[in-house]
Structure 1
Amino acid sequence: MPTLTIDDLGITTQRHGRDIALVDGLTLTLETGRILALVGPSGSGKSLTASGAQGVLPAGVSRRTGRVLLDGVEQRPSLIRGRTIATIMQNPRSAFNPVKTMRAHALETLTAVGHRDAGSEDTIRDTMAEVGLDDPARVLGLHPFEMSGGMLQRMMIALALLTRAPFLFADEPTTDIDLVVQARLLDLIERVARERHLGVLLITHDMGVVARLADDVHVMSAGRIVERGSVRAIFDAPAHPVTQSLIAAHLALYVDEEAA
């Protein structure tokens, strides 16, 4: 079973001439066929972990320590992006070039990972249909501004699948999408992950999403993983105060709904 390990990841920034740790000594392992949820409050370092592993950190932020291993062999970040790891980002509109059509985005993706050939158009349409985009031939001619947020998120999932990467990073994939579309997208991510036997790192602060999709959970706080366990163990017996607060906040939503 292929594994992807982020080992001893350390990410820092500088403030007043001093190094500030944003992610500190983080280690986690993904297995194909399983969904690992990385959860924690905003600012805990979840998204930076995904970005740092792939070498795409924002300006002023740097990776000081850490390796990414594929089946125990260290990989260069530039070689795993799109080939070993595909990414679904939390704001689909920021992920697309506004002046390019969906066809251009798809062909560019295939070219970047070396999968473009004479049958590319058929492959693209089949993959778009797989993620639930109706009339792929029409959608391929659309620009981002002509599509809804849900359509763009489905297109982003299709682009991720076109790479044939065995691992998928999904960073808050249902942010700013209404609840009906959110439920459909979560079903879609789970289905394609199981059918394609992908290893998924699901980054979220929504414990409802965790309960619905994940097999295992790692909880982050202040740049460190403070608790690990199966979904059932985390929900039944959360040990760390941060985990307990996340579970309590999630359960309070249902109490409020029943009271209403």
Structure 2
Amino acid sequence: MTQPQTLAIENLCICARREGQDIQLVRELSLTLERGEILALVGGSGSGKSMTCAGAQDVLPPGVYRRAGRVLVDGSDVAPKSLRGRTVATVLQNPRSAFNPLRTIFDHAREVRRVARADAAEDRAATIAALSDTGLDEPERALALYPFEMSGGMLQRAMIALALLSGAPFLFADEPTTDLDLVVQARILDLLEGLVANRGLGILLVSHDMGVVARLATRVAVMQEGQVVEEGSVERIFSAPQHAVTRELVAAHLALYAGESA
């Protein structure tokens, strides 16, 4: 079966019901993600970045709902909930929140492969291969580990391995390095970059770190108050930002970089 090449979010509107009123959290947002690229979604806290990823997959928190919008895969309308684990895999910033503490890594892997309708007889070999591909040491030993027995960096690699096992052509990575130390951050970024180069994944990268964006992204979309206010290539965004929010983000990054170099 041919893998889809394009994932598009069109006119996404997300609201929260508060004190009898609808508050707009995401406003008529449209994005297109291609296989083989990293699209960075940036903006200040509360700008709607994570909510966009959740709304596109119908995994919104209680009290929040998608009022409008659709998701297209290669131009065809697709129900958001049908994307999860098949067309889109997700990597979260706090990997411990994504794992059942009472189940081993292999238990999680088998569940992912069941959703992907993979051959159960090959579960063990496929899981070891995926864990190895993410650079996890002693992948066979990791099968029997519980989440609490693993470090944050190990769990993040395990989560990415589960994404690989799903066979999903697109990956939503929501602040995937926030809670990791600098050395582990660098390794995770190398891993994500390699997945695009070697497997042709399309990655929607949610990040507040413009250094990460400068290193990894192909294109950048900047959000403010639930809207995309600027979009362009990473080179253009950093060399000639147009919107005030984009200029602030780039200026803050350059000031931090200059301070570290001094």
Give the TM-score range, shorter chain: over 0.9
Q: Which amino acid aligns with 2:161?
A: A
Separation in 2 of the partners of 1:42 and 1:239? 20
Q: Does 1:236 align with 2:250?
A: no
Does structure 1 conserve the Cα–Cα contact (< 8 Å) formed by 2:110 and 2:120?
no
How far has the Cα of 1:198 moved from its partner? 0.8
1:218 is matched with: 221
Whether 1:169 aligns to 2:172 is yes
Does residue 20 of structure 1 match 2:10? no
Amino acid at match of 1:45: G
TM-score, normalized by length of structure 1? 0.98
Quote the residue 1:74 is aligned against: 77
Provide the aligned C-alpha RMSD in A. 0.9
Determine the C-alpha separation between the residues in 2 that align with 1:210 and 1:156.
Answer: 21
Which residue, out of 24, 35, 38, partners 2:38?
Answer: 35
For residue 183 of structure 1, report the CA deviation from its aligned partner.
0.4
Check 1:23–1:150 CA distance in 2 against 1; reply closer, same or farther (3 A cut).
same
2:218 alignment partner AA: D
Alignment match, 2:142: 139
SS across alignment from 2:101: coil
Q: Are 2:261 and 1:258 equivalent residues in the alignment?
A: yes
How far did 1:192 drift?
1.1
Secondary structure in 1 aligned to 2:39?
Answer: strand
Give the SS at the match of 1:133: coil
Q: Deviation at 1:117?
A: 2.4
What pairs with 1:1-260 in structure 2 (closer than 5 Å)?
2-259=5-262
Secondary structure of residue in 2 paired with 1:115: coil
**Displacement of 1:72 after TM fit?**
0.8
1:144-193 CA deviation, whole Å, 9 max, x = no partner? 11100000000000000000101110000001100010001000011012
Q: Tell me, what secondary structure is at the counterpart of 2:253?
A: helix
For residue 89 of structure 2, what is the amino acid of its counterpart?
A
The gaps in structure 2 that reach 5 residues or longer are: none
Secondary structure of the residue that 1:25 maps to in structure 2? strand
16-25 or 217-226, larger mean C-alpha shift: 16-25
Deviation at 1:78, TM superposition (A): 2.0
Q: SS at the partner of 1:254?
A: helix
Q: Distance in 1 between matches of 2:91 and 2:226?
A: 22
Letter in 1 for 2:69: G
Tell me how far apart the structure 2 counterparts of residues 186 and 159 of structure 1 sit (CA, whole Å): 17
Give yes or no for contact 2:41–2:222 (8 Å, CA) kept in 1: yes
Q: Which amino acid aligns with 2:114?
A: T
Stretch moving more, 157-166 or 114-123: 114-123
Contact 2:13-2:24 at 8 Å conserved across structures? yes
1: CA distance, partners of 2:249 / 2:217: 15
**Which contiguous aligned blocks of 4+ residues in structure 1 show a shift greater than 6 angstroms?**
none
Deviation, structure 1 residue 240: 0.4
Letter matched to residue 27 of structure 2? D
CA contact (8 A) 1:107 1:116 kept: no
Structure 2 counterpart of 1:10, one-letter code: C
2:120 alignment partner, SS class: coil
Q: Is the 8 A contact 1:44 1:220 kept in 2?
A: yes
CA distance in 1, matches of 2:236, 2:249: 14
Q: What letter matches 2:198 in structure 1? A: E
Cα deviation for residue 258 of structure 1 reads 3.0
> Structure 2 length as normaliser, TM-score?
0.97
